[in-house]
Amino acid sequence: MNYSYYPGCTLRTKAKDLDFYAKASLEALGSSLVEVPDWQCCGGVYSTAKDEIANKLSAVRALVAARDAGQDLVTVCSACHNVLKQVNNDMKNDEYIRSHANSYMKLDTPYTGETNVIHFLELLRDKIGFDEIAKKVVNPIGKKIGAYYGCLLLRPGKVMEMDNPENPKILEDFIKAIGGEPVIYAMRNECCGGYITMEDKEVANKRSGKVLTNAKEHGAELLVTACPLCLYNLKKNTDGVELPVVYFTELLAQALGVKKGDA
C-alpha cells in the first residue's frame, strides 16, 4: 500500500531521523510513503486569521496532490500535521477560505477537503494495526517509556480527531506494541515551551524541566515524541533534568530490526 507523504522542511534538516526511520520502518511493514510533488513549507503554525489565505496555499497544494493520487496524505511532524489537518478542515467547512483559496490557485477541479489526512501514528494504529506490528518486533524495547504528546498532536480535538486530547493512549499503545512499558504522567500533553524558546529561554527551560521531572518521577527511562520542536526543547532546555528524548520512529525502527543499537 502506498500513501502520499508530506515530510515538511524540518524533516530534511534537523529532524532527519524522524523522516528516515518512518520510511524505513513502513517499508519493513510492507507499505511505502510517496512524497507529494513540489511540496513547500506548510508555515509551521496554523493561522487563525480568516483573511490570511496565502499562507494556507502550500498546505492546499499538498492536499490536492494527495487527492489527485487517490491516496491518504500522511504526515509525521506534529506541527505539519496540525497545519495540514486544520487547513483541510477549513477547505471542508469554511466557504470564505475555500472559495478564496481555489480562486488563487485556479485549480481545474476545485478542492473541497476530499483528502484524508492522517498522522503516521494513525497509519500504524488504523491501517496496519498495533497487533500486527507487535508480531513483527524482533528487538523488543524493554524500557519504561514516557509518551510526550505536546500541544499540537491532539488539539484542537474536534479537528485533529486522533485521540482523546485530555487522556490519549495512541502513543502508549504504540509503546506496548514495540515491547516497551508505557509510563503515564501528568505532563505528557502539556506544552514544553518550544514556541517561546528564542523569546524567553528561562520560561521554556522551566516548562521543559517540569515535563522531564514529572516523567522521571513516574519511572520513565526515556521519552518519545513526534515533534521536532519538542525534541529540541526537551534536549536543550532541561532545567538540569537528565532524561533521553528520541523520536518514536527511531524506537519503531529499532524494534523492527531496521535500526541497530539503542535509540
Return the HEC string of 104-150: HHCCCCCCCCCCCEEEHHHHHHHHHCHHHHHHCCCCCCCCEEEECCC
The answer to which of 56-65, 144-153, 208-217, 252-261 has the lowest mean pLDDT is 252-261
The pLDDT of residue 50: 85
pTM more than 0.85: yes
pLDDT of residue 262: 73
Residue 180, C-alpha cell as written in the block:
516497551
Spans of all domains in the chain: 2-120, 129-256
CATH code given to domain 2-120: 1.20.1050.140
| Range 36-51 average pLDDT | 92
Q: Which of 177, 180, 165, 162 is nearest to 223 (CA)?
A: 180
Q: What is the mean pLDDT of residues 173-183?
A: 98
What per-residue confidence (pLDDT) applies to 84? Answer: 98
Tell me what percent of the residues of the chain surpass a pLDDT of 70. Answer: 100
Helix (H, G, I), strand (E, B) or coil at 177: helix
- 59, with CB counted inside 10 A (0-12, 13-18, 19+), is buried
* Dihedral of alpha carbons 256, 261, 262, 263, sign: negative
In this structure, the number of other CB atoms found within 10 A of the CB of residue 123 comes to: 21
- The DSSP letter of residue 179 is T
* Alpha-carbon span 43 to 86, nearest angstrom: 12
CA distances from 146 to 29, 143, 221 (A): 24, 10, 8
- Give 259's pLDDT tier (boundaries 50, 70, 90): confident
Checking if the pLDDT of 263 tops 70, the result is: no
For the domain made up of 129-256, the CATH class stated in words is alpha beta
pLDDT at 255 over 90: yes
pLDDT of res. 51: 87
At residue 224, φ and ψ (nearest 5 deg) are -120, 145
What mean pLDDT do residues 66-90 have?
A: 98
pLDDT at residue 198 is higher than 80: no
Give mean pLDDT, residues 153-165: 96
DSSP designation for 72: P
Cell of 225: 515524541
